[in-house]
Amino acid sequence: MPTTIQTDTVLTALRRLGHATNLELYAAITDQLPQLGLTSLHRITARMVERGEIGLAPSDGRQVVLDARPEAHDHFVCTVCGGILDIALPDSTIDLIQGQLGRNLVRDGIVVRGRCERCGPLGAGNTASRK
Ligand SMILES: [Zn+2]
Ligand SMILES: [Zn+2]
């Protein structure tokens, strides 16, 4: 069983990061919890996800990305660096998307993919740019 100090430290660090892999989280808390191994951290975060204390962010599937916010919300994901941002799409937009989906249900948040500010538009064919 993880101690309260461990879960509190993990939660505080994740809230600061917003979204993080177990490895990133590990790097962020290892100063405060030098005794805690990466395997134990995996176990702690898996349990926290199970309990709904934290959530999972959309990822490329290669690694689990933890989300400080357990409730469903929308995301922007950079396809270059994998950076993840929380966004909040208006209901009208979600209704439009739902209209395309028929009986498939929008329920767990919408993911918009693109290039973040830091990665910038690459080469030609960047159709996503708008003011
Ligand atoms: Zn990026
Ligand atoms: Zn999020």
* CA 75 – ligand 1 centroid, Å: 13
- Identify the CA nearest to 119 among candidates 85, 86, 63, 79: 79
Residue 28 CA to ligand 1 center (angstroms) comes to: 21
Place of tokens 């918009």: 112
Q: Report CA(84)–ligand 1 centroid distance (Å).
A: 8
Task: With CA atoms as reference, report the closest residue to 60 among 111, 23, 94, 13.
Answer: 111
In this predicted structure, what is the pLDDT of residue 84?
93
* The pLDDT of residue 128: 52
Sign, CA torsion 52/57/59/63: negative
Find the 121 Cα to ligand 1 centroid distance in Å.
Answer: 10
Q: Give residue 131's pLDDT.
A: 44
In sign, the C-alpha dihedral spanning 61, 10, 7, 68 is: negative
The CA distance from 108 to 106, in Å, is 6
Nearest to 83 by CA among 121, 55, 119, 129: 119
Give mean pLDDT in consecutive 10-residue pieces for the chain, a chain of 131 residues: 88 97 97 95 97 91 91 93 93 94 91 92 53 44
**Closest-approaching ligand to the CA atom of 87:** 2
For residue 122, what pLDDT is reported?
64
51 Cα to the center of ligand 2, angstroms: 17
The secondary structure element, H or E, covering residue 76 is strand 74-78
122, amino acid identity: L
Q: Among all ligands shown, which has an atom nearest to the Cα of 80?
A: 1
pLDDT at position 62 is 79
State the pLDDT at residue 59. 80
User: What local confidence, expressed as pLDDT, does residue 108 receive?
Assistant: 87
Residue 115: nearest ligand to its CA?
1
Sorted by where each starts, the structural domains of the chain and their CATH numbers stand as 4-67 (1.10.10.10), 74-114 (3.30.1490)
